[in-house]
Amino acid sequence: MFHTPGRSRPPTQTFRESLDAHGGVCLFRRAAGGLALLLLAASAHAATIPLFNTGVDGNGNPLAPGASDPHWQLIAGEGVTAPVPAVVVSEQHPSGQYFETTDSMWIWTDASGNGANTPYTFRLSFDLTGFDPGSVSISGFWGIDDTDGAIMLNGAAPEGSGLTLTPTSFDNFNIQHPFSITGGFVAGINFLDITARDVSNPGALNVAGLSVLTTPVPEPGAAVLFGIGALALAVSRRPRRYSNLDPASRQQS
Q: Which is nearer to Ca ion, 103 or 145 (CB)?
A: 145
Parallel, antiparallel or unpaired: strands 107-108 and 159-161: unpaired
Amino acid at 208: A
User: Taking contact as CB under 5 A, which single stretch among the options 96-104, 139-147, 180-188, 219-227 is the one that binds Ca ion?
Assistant: 139-147
Q: Which is nearer to Ca ion, 146 or 193 (CB)?
A: 146
Distance CA 174, CA 139 (A): 19
CB of 104 to Ca ion, least distance (A): 18
Any contact of residue 198 with Ca ion (CB under 5 A)? yes
| Count of residues in contact with Ca ion, rule CB under 5 A | 3
Q: Which is nearer to Ca ion, 103 or 198 (CB)?
A: 198
SS3 154: coil
Q: Which is nearer to Ca ion, 69 or 146 (CB)?
A: 146
CB of 94 to Ca ion, least distance (A): 8
Any contact of residue 145 with Ca ion (CB under 5 A)? yes
User: Taking contact as CB under 5 A, which single stretch among the options 16-24, 121-129, 144-152, 236-244 is the one that binds Ca ion?
Assistant: 144-152
CB of 102 to Ca ion, least distance (A): 24
CB of 218 to Ca ion, least distance (A): 48
Q: Which is nearer to Ca ion, 97 or 182 (CB)?
A: 97
Phi, psi of 75 (to 5 degrees): -115, -20
User: Taking contact as CB under 5 A, which single stretch among the options 40-48, 193-201, 215-223, 224-232 is the one that binds Ca ion?
Assistant: 193-201
Amino acid at 128: L
CB of 200 to Ca ion, least distance (A): 5
Q: Which of 69, 103, 146, 148 binds Ca ion (CB under 5 A)?
A: 146
CB of 39 to Ca ion, least distance (A): 51
Nearest to 177 by CA among 161, 194, 190: 161
CB of 113 to Ca ion, least distance (A): 8
Measuring CA to CA, how many Å separate 88 from each of 41, 74, 147? Answer: 34, 12, 19
Q: Is 167 left (phi over 0), alpha (psi -120 to 50) or beta?
A: beta
Distance CA 196, CA 121 (A): 7
DSSP E strands: which ranges in 77-219? 84-88, 107-108, 119-127, 137-145, 147-153, 159-161, 164-165, 177-183, 189-197, 204-213
User: Taking contact as CB under 5 A, which single stretch among the options 55-63, 127-135, 194-202, 219-227 is the one that binds Ca ion?
Assistant: 194-202
Counts of helices then strands in the chain (DSSP H, E): 5, 11
Binding site for Ca ion (CB under 5 A): 145-146, 198
